[in-house]
């Protein structure tokens, strides 16, 4: 897995790019565009892809990419497990009337998974959930969720935030996968999964393939039953304590909507991921597609960047992801937002730290619109 390649299907004998995703080749797919796929692979895997008829172009060696972007300064600018807990605790203590830090579960390595509950009423039916960091290497997803919590607590006295917090509750869980994040911070920057020891000796289940709606119904590159693969779905639905923590929280609080932040590629994704069919309920589909388009406009209005709205499976098929489950099980508006940057050349999973704040700034009006419409 040491080189990042762009793969194209531009020769007459090459199979289509969708075929590349469908095959269980154990590739680490980073980005899917209309005319190319960016993935991390070993040289032997690239040879195999060329034998199949694909064109592969080396973008960068993984080691060089990490060395360029994951500088000590860049690492220090992001939260660790420890500093996140500290800052969440500080936020809760700054406004104890409305903010409360809750442990929603523990990870494989027994780290607490934290959620900040923000709102005055505890018996309200108006609740929303924001999450970050199902995938360890997607650090900016922690920061956007955390800064949203900070924004809500800091503006608790000002309308419309004050009205929202009177009406209901907003829960923010910035780091669903703390073990993976810590491993990514200290051992291997591009680590993706959790830190489960698998039966074959490999490590890690992909938490965003482990949810219980249509779980395990695909066995492809982007949703794999091979334990050593980056998108390993796990031995069964909700086999992982991280996804069980979210399952139990959602089952208890009965949220009206969910946004889960990931990176990268700048996309606004809505269900389904497991099939190319649209969701059958026309009214729900209309709600989500309209809201996705509105969020795109609001995001673009801040710094001019484009986040593309699309059905999740248009990116690539996945079974067992968070939003298929929250929509499939509870019928609530559910979005996966893929944050900055737009490309590997601009950092890929390792977003330069000076872009944390602008990424939050452009996502704030979209998050506020989601709260305004759905809470």
Residues annotated catalytic, as ranges: 338
Between 56 and 263, name the residue whose CB sits nearer to Zn ion: 263
CB of 336 to Zn ion, least distance (A): 8
* CB atoms closer than 10 angstroms to residue 345: 12
Q: Most distant CA pair in the chain: distance in Å?
A: 65
Closest separation between CB of residue 23 and Zn ion, Å?
21
What lies within 8 Å, CB to CB, of 282 at 6+ separation is none
Q: How far is the CB of 143 from Zn ion (least distance, A)?
A: 14
Which residue bears the tokens 């032997």? 44
Among candidate residues 351, 317, 349, 343, the one with its CA nearest the CA of residue 38:
343
Least Cβ distance, residue 260 to Zn ion (angstroms): 9
Q: Provide the terminal-to-terminal Cα distance of the chain, rounded to the nearest Å.
A: 43
Q: Give the pairing type, strands 334-339 and 257-263.
A: parallel
Q: Tell me whether residue 262 or residue 340 sits nearer to Zn ion (CB atom).
A: 262
Nearer to Zn ion, 247 or 262 (CB): 262
Distances (CA, A) of 107 to 165, 234, 310: 29, 15, 31
Give 135 or 247: the residue with its C-beta nearer to Zn ion.
Answer: 135
**What are φ and ψ of residue 254, in 5° steps?**
50, 65
Residue (45 or 260) nearer to Zn ion, CB: 260
Q: How far is the CB of 70 from Zn ion (least distance, A)?
A: 17
**Residues at the contact surface with Zn ion, assessed by CB under 5 A:** 135, 138, 262
Torsion of CA 271, 25, 234, 317, to 10 degrees: 10
Q: Distance between CA atoms of 13 and 1, rounded to whole angstroms? A: 26
Degrees to nearest 5, angle at CA 290 with 284 and 292: 100
């Amino acid at each position: 897995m040491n080189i990042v390649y762009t793969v194209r299907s531009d020769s007459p004998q090459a199979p289509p790019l969708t075929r590349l995703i469908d095959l269980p080749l154990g590739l680490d797919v980073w980005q899917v565009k209309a005319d190319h796929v960016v993935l991390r692979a070993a040289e032997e895997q690239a040879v195999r892809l060329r034998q199949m008829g694909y064109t592969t172009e080396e973008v960068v060696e993984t080691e060089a990419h990490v060395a360029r972007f994951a500088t000590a300064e860049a690492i220090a600018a992001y939260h660790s497990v420890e500093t996140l807990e500290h800052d969440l605790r500080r936020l809760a203590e700054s406004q104890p009337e409305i903010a409360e830090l809750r442990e929603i579960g523990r990870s494989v390595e027994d780290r607490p998974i934290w959620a900040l509950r923000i709102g005055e009423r505890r018996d309200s039916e108006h609740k929303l959930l924001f999450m970050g960091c199902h995938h360890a290497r997607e650090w900016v997803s922690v920061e956007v969720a955390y800064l949203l919590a900070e924004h809500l607590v800091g503006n608790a006295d000002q309308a419309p935030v004050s009205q929202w917090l009177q009406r209901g509750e907003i829960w923010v869980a910035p780091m669903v996968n703390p073990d993976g994040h810590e491993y990514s911070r200290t051992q291997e920057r591009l680590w993706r999964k959790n830190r489960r020891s698998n039966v074959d000796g490999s490590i890690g289940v992909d938490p965003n393939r482990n949810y219980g709606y249509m779980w395990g119904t695909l066995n492809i590159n982007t949703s794999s039953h091979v334990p050593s693969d980056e998108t390993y779905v796990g031995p069964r639905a909700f086999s992982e304590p991280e996804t069980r923590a979210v399952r139990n929280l959602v089952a208890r609080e009965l949220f009206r909507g969910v946004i889960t932040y990931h990176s990268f590629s700048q996309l606004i994704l809505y269900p389904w991921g497991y099939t190319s069919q649209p969701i059958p309920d026309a009214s729900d589909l209309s709600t989500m597609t309209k809201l996705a388009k509105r969020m795109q406009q609001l995001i673009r209005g801040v710094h001019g960047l484009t986040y593309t709205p699309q059905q999740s499976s248009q990116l690539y098929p996945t079974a067992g992801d968070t939003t298929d489950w929250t929509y499939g099980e509870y019928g609530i508006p559910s979005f996966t937002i893929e944050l900055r940057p737009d490309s590997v050349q601009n950092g890929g999973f390792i977003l330069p730290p000076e872009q944390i704040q602008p990424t939050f700034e452009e996502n704030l009006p979209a998050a506020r619109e989601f709260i305004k419409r759905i809470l």
